[in-house]
A and B are shown apart, each in its own frame.
Chain A
Amino acid sequence: MNPILRVEHVTKQFGDYTALDDVSLEVPRGQVYGLLGPNGAGKTTLIRIINRITAPDSGAVWFDDHLLAPEDVARIGYLPEERGLYKGMKVGEQAIYFARLKGLSRREAVSRLKEWFERFGIEEWWNKRVSELSKGMAQKVQFIVTVLHRPELLIFDEPFSGFDPVNANLLKEEMLALRDQGATIIFSTHNMASVEEVCDHITLINRSRNILTGRLEDIRREHGSNVYEVRFAGDSELLQQRLSQATTTIKLTAGVGDSTLRFKLNAESELRGVVGLINDAVDIRSLSEVIPSMNEIFINKVSQQGGVAE
Chain B
Amino acid sequence: MSKIGLIVAREWNERVRKKSFVVTTLLTPLLMVGMIALVSWLSSRGADSVKFIEVVDRSGFVAAQLENQPDVVFRTTAEGVSPEDAMCNREEDTWGILIIGEDVMTNGAYVELYSFGPSTMEVEQAIRHEIERVVEERKLEANNLAEVRRVLDQMQTTVNVRAYMLDENGARSSVSSVLSYAVSYVFGFLMYMFVLIYGSQVMTGVIEEKNNRVLEVMVSSVRPMELMMGKILGVAAVAVTQFSLWVVLVLGLGSVVLNLILPEDLMEAARMGGVPVEAVGGGADEMAQVLSLISEPTYLATIIGGFLLFFVGGYLLYAAMFAAVGSAVGSATDSNQFQNLVTMPIIVALVVMFGVINNPDGALAMWFSMIPFTSPIVMMARLPYGVPWWEVAVSLVLLYGMFAVMVWMAGKIYRVGILMHGKRVTFRELYKWMKYKY
Contacts and interface: CB of A to CB of B under 8 A. Distances in A.
A102 B421 CA distance: 25
A80 B6 contact: no
B220 A76 contact: yes
B218 to A, nearest CB: 7
A35 B220 CA distance: 18
Contacts, number: 65
B1 A80 contact: no
B3 interface: yes
Contact of B216 (A52, A57, A82, A145): A82
Contacts of A87: 212
A123 to B, nearest CB: 23
Nearest to A149: B221
B212 A101 contact: no
Contacts of A102: 221
A80 B221 contact: no
B432 A142 contact: no
B436 interface: yes
B159 interface: no
A129 B197 CA distance: 26
B438 interface: yes
Interface in B175-224: 209, 212-214, 216-224
A78 interface: yes
Given A100-B6, A101-B222, A102-B221, A84 B438 contact: no
B150 interface: no
Given A15-B432, A102-B221, A86 B214 contact: yes
B219 A51 contact: yes
A101 B230 CA distance: 12
B419 interface: yes
Interface in A75-115: 76, 78-89, 97-98, 100-102
B14 interface: yes
B214 A101 contact: no
A143 B216 CA distance: 14
Interface string B1-29: 10100110010001000000000000000
Contacts of B45: none
Contacts of A88: 14
A84 B219 contact: no
Given A84-B213, A84-B214, A145-B217, A97 B438 contact: no
B437 interface: yes
Contacts of B223: 70
Contacts of B432: 15
B213 A83 contact: yes
Interface string B405-438: 0000000000000010100000000001001111
A168 interface: no
Given A14-B436, A100-B6, A51 B213 contact: no
Contacts of B217: 78-80, 83-85, 98, 142, 145
Nearest to A54: B438
Contacts of B222: 101
Interface string A135-152: 000000010010000000
A74 B220 CA distance: 9
Nearest to B214: A84
Given A15-B432, A80-B213, A53 B220 contact: yes
B220 A51 contact: yes
30 contacts: A14-B436, A48-B419, A51-B219, A53-B219, A53-B220, A54-B438, A55-B437, A57-B437, A78-B220, A79-B217, A80-B217, A80-B220, A81-B216, A82-B216, A83-B213, A83-B217, A84-B213, A84-B214, A84-B216, A86-B14, A86-B214, A87-B212, A98-B221, A101-B3, A101-B6, A101-B7, A101-B218, A101-B221, A102-B221, A142-B217
The 6 closest A-B pairs by CB, nearest first: A84-B213, A78-B220, A84-B212, A80-B216, A101-B221, A82-B213
